[in-house]
């Protein structure tokens, strides 16, 4: 894996309009892990891509009416197959964290990279997703000096009481053991 011009070369690029300038492009020091599936619990469709691109037809499924009008994105999505899709260049602020705080700093979107895993809070993630996530974390650590492998957290940790992802389906112990091995 390699990052060139703030893009992961091996990722399929699907630009999202839901991003903005970071207050300080050199202040990227946190990786936030999320989970998403649209509709909830269904995998493999293009609904996440269309949602992050503001092109989701909210009449397709009753759940989509709950998220209609939301403008959100992440830097990356790792599908259950291990495919990686990039929506926002790493030097830009993706709209993934919302109201959030990490170690006393608010507005985590300003200084973090958001990585979505295709999944739910309760279902186990796939080995291919863990493998890709480990590779992505290592390449981000190499490309952005303020990122350390100790600076990886879940959405639930920066938005407690408001968010629950990546949830119990994400095996932190397994992920951290893979991260240390590679």
Other Cβ atoms less than 10 A from the Cβ of 97: the count is 26
Task: Tell me the per-residue pLDDT of 94-148, one tens digit each, with 9 for 90 and over.
Answer: 999 999 999 999 999 999 999 999 999 999 999 999 999 999 999 999 999 999 9
CATH topology of domain 3-181: Lysozyme-like (3.40.80)
Residue 45 pLDDT: 96
- For the segment 40-65, the average pLDDT, to the nearest whole number, is 97
Task: Tell me the per-residue pLDDT of 66-96, one tens digit each, with 9 for 90 and over.
Answer: 999 999 999 999 999 999 999 999 999 999 9
pTM equals: 0.97
Contacts of 168-172 with CB under 8 Å at 24 or more apart are 168/121, 168/122, 169/35, 169/119, 169/120, 169/121, 169/122, 169/123, 169/124, 169/125, 170/33, 170/35, 170/117, 170/119, 170/125, 171/124, 171/125, 171/130
Which position among 55, 116, 126, 141 bears the catalytic label? 116
Let me know if 116 is a catalytic residue. yes
Residue 119 pLDDT: 98
């Amino acid at each position: 894996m390699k990052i060139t011009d703030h893009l992961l070369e091996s990722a399929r690029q699907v630009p999202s309009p839901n991003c903005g300038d970071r207050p300080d492009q050199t202040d990227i020091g946190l990786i936030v892990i999320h989970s998403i599936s649209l509709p909830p619990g269904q995998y493999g469709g293009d609904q996440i891509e269309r949602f992050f691109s503001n092109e989701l037809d909210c009449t397709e499924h009753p759940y989509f009416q709950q998220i209609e009008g939301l403008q959100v994105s992440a830097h990356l999505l790792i599908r259950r197959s291990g495919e990686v899709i990039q929506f926002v260049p790493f030097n830009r602020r993706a709209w993934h964290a919302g109201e959030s705080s990490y170690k006393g700093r608010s507005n985590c979107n300003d200084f973090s990279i958001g990585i979505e895993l295709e999944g739910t809070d309760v279902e186990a993630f796939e080995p291919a997703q863990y493998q890709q996530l480990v590779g992505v974390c290592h390449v981000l650590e190499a490309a952005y000096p303020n990122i350390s492998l100790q600076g990886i957290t879940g959405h639930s940790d920066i938005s407690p009481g408001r968010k629950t992802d990546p949830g119990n389906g994400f095996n932190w112990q397994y992920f951290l053991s893979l991260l240390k091995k590679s």
